[in-house]
Structure 1
């Protein structure tokens, strides 16, 4: 099917020294709107070193490079934007650091209230989830796809669906109104490699 929904890739938590090659293969396999570097429990130097390898790969392929959690580091590195969890600082502070053109996303779990607050604060997108079981991170929230329909009907701001999404289970989220599918394991752990993982979503999204 042809949709307006786009793919949003999230890195593994431990990308590994040759991850730039994996990302290159993934981005060359089909359209990817954005890539988020999400490295937990490592120091700033490790994040910066990885980002400096990956940012040119994204830039050459017109894929936005988003850093998870850290608006200060995103500004230092010149990232295209930052994704903020519920405890990662304010959207307004991130905007002051990153400027008006940066992409700032906000985790909203299953909360319409959080999403409306994020929109009012100036977020560029809101993320709902986890919609399915996921091995990537522990999740306590499980929204229904209807929240995507509600958001899309009420607001122009894009919404991202996240959490355990695969090419096999994504259709209800696309039909409900997701503007982006945020995926990680479905691409990086695909049995035929990351290019096949992206290719499966490209086929689903009609690209």
Structure 2
């Protein structure tokens, strides 16, 4: 069994039935090879008050299952909610600021695209994990950067900081990423674009093969 775990990223619409879908997905991974390590809350074009309202039930679902609840982009929202951490894009502030605001126990991740230099900078700045990608075309966002498997191999040989592979990852294409050394697989559309329980079980089949 591989040591790789899933890192779920929310769809942009987390209203309606989404809390129930999140609970089902997390429960489907519990105790199995598709254990979900973290859930990233990612919404756009809503103010912080509305984002906090949407986030709170999801945060409670994650907390009850000991899944890290990570806020995308916003250090201030992460602080307001007492989230487990924040994920920073290249334009969202730096690791030192996030650490000062959120404390030493916060999980701080940084998007490093396909760049070894950005990965090294983030690691030296004290990031808890780095995210590389996109490894495949993705329906979740426009991708300007395409990463190669060699990047994961290189990172694992050099650094102890965990790495997340992002971008269009599905149960059908993820095996090479696991073999190349990804510590976490980020999944969004592959899970939320259909039956979330079936998707987690399909990831489990791959992750369970080691």
Give the structure-2-normalised TM-score. Answer: 0.95
- Alpha-carbon distance, 1:183 to partner: 0.5
Q: Quick one: distance in 2 between partners of 1:203 and 1:95?
A: 37
Q: Name the SS for the 1:29 alignment partner.
A: helix
- The gaps in structure 1 that reach 5 residues or longer are none
Which of residues 146, 171, 183 in structure 2 aligns to 1:179? 183
Superposed CA deviations along residues 72-129 of structure 1, whole A, max 9, x for unmatched, are 1101100000000000001100000000000000000000000000011110000000
Q: What does residue 24 of structure 1 align with?
A: 23
1:111 aligns with 2:110: no
Aligned-residue offset at 1:19? 1.1
| Number of equivalenced pairs | 204
For 1:41, the equivalent position in structure 2 comes to 45
Q: Which segments of 5 or more consecutive residues in structure 2 lack a partner in the other structure?
A: 30-34
Distance 1:104 1:93 in 2: 10
Separation in 2, partners of 1:46, 1:163: 27
Q: Helix, strand or coil: the match of 1:199?
A: helix
Distance 2:14 2:200 in 1: 17
1:206 equivalent to 2:208? Answer: yes
What is the SS of the residue equivalent to 1:127? strand
Alignment partners' CA distance in 2, 1:180 and 1:75 = 24
Match of 2:32 in 1: none
Regions of 4+ moved over 6 Å:
none
Q: CA deviation at 1:14?
A: 1.4
CA displacement at 1:131 relative to structure 2: 0.4
Shift of residue 59, structure 1, vs aligned partner? 0.7
Please give the alpha-carbon distance, in whole angstroms, between the structure 2 residues aligned to 1:99 and 1:17.
33
So what's the TM-score if we normalise by structure 1?
Answer: 0.97
Which of 73, 76, 101 pairs up with 2:77?
A: 73
Q: Who is 1:15 aligned against?
A: 14
Deviates more, 1:10-19 or 1:61-70: 10-19
